[in-house]
Amino acid sequence: MTGDLPLSQFRPRSRLSVPETRITRPDRPFIDAHNHLGAFGGGWDQRDPAAFFARLDEAGAVHYVDLDGGWGEDVLDDRLRRFKSHAPERYRVYGGVDWGRWAEEGHAFAERSAARLAAQAARGAQGLKIWKPFGLHVTDDRGALAKIDDPRLGPIWARAGELGLPVMIHIADPVAFFDPLTPENERWDELHAHPDWHFPSPPFPPFDALLGAFARLVQRHPATTFIGAHVGCYAENLTWVSDLMETCPNLYVDISARISELGRQPYSARRFFLRHADRILFGTDAGPDLETYAIYARFLETGDEYFSYGPGDSPGQGRWRIYGLHLPEDVREKIYFANAARLFGLETGPMPEDTTHQQERT
293 and 7 in contact (C-beta within 8 Å)?
no
Whether the per-residue pLDDT at 282 is higher than 90: the answer is: yes
pLDDT of residue 349: 56
Q: 14-42 as b/e, with b when 16 or more CB fall inside 10 Å?
A: eeeeeeebebbbbbbbbbbbbbbbbeebb
Instruction: Enumerate domains of the chain plus CATH numbers.
Output: 21-361 (3.20.20.140)
Q: Which residues pair with 169 in a beta bridge?
A: 130, 228
Whether the per-residue pLDDT at 125 is higher than 90: the answer is: yes
DSSP assignment string, 116-177: HHHHHHHHT---EEE-THHHHT-B-TTSSBPPTT-GGGHHHHHHHHHHT--EEE-----GGG
Q: Give CA–CA dist 248/229, Å, rounded.
A: 15
pLDDT of residue 14: 87
Name the percent of the chain lying above pLDDT 70.
95
Starting at the edge strand found earlier in the chain, the sheet holding 61-66 runs 30-35, 61-66, 91-93
Q: In the structure, what pLDDT confidence band is assigned to residue 7 with cuts at 50, 70 and 90?
A: confident
pLDDT of residue 244: 98
**Chain-centre distance for alpha carbon 309:** 15
Query: Regarding predicted confidence, which is higher, 356 or 179?
Result: 179
The total of other beta-carbon atoms located within 10 Å of residue 201's CB is: 14
The model's pTM: 0.95
Predicted confidence (pLDDT) per residue in 185-223, tens digit: 999 999 999 999 999 999 999 999 999 999 999 999 999
Cβ-Cβ contacts under 8 Å for 14 (sequence gap 6 or more) = 306, 321
Q: In the structure, what pLDDT confidence band is assigned to residue 31 with cuts at 50, 70 and 90?
A: very high
Average pLDDT, the chain: 94
Whether the per-residue pLDDT at 234 is higher than 60: the answer is: yes
Predicted confidence (pLDDT) per residue in 165-176, tens digit: 999 999 999 999
pLDDT of residue 354: 46
The SS3 assignment for 343 reads: helix
The SS3 assignment for 361 reads: strand
Whether the per-residue pLDDT at 2 is higher than 90: the answer is: no
Q: In the structure, what pLDDT confidence band is assigned to residue 359 with cuts at 50, 70 and 90?
A: low
Query: Regarding predicted confidence, which is higher, 319 or 353?
Result: 319
pLDDT of residue 347: 77
The total of other beta-carbon atoms located within 10 Å of residue 184's CB is: 9
Whether the per-residue pLDDT at 240 is higher than 70: the answer is: yes
pLDDT of residue 317: 84
Q: In the structure, what pLDDT confidence band is assigned to residue 358 with cuts at 50, 70 and 90?
A: low
Cα angle: 306, vertex 253, 94; to 5 degrees: 120
Q: Which amino acid is at 307?
A: F
pLDDT of residue 355: 45
Beta-carbon-side half-sphere exposure of residue 85 (alpha carbons within 13 Å)? 9
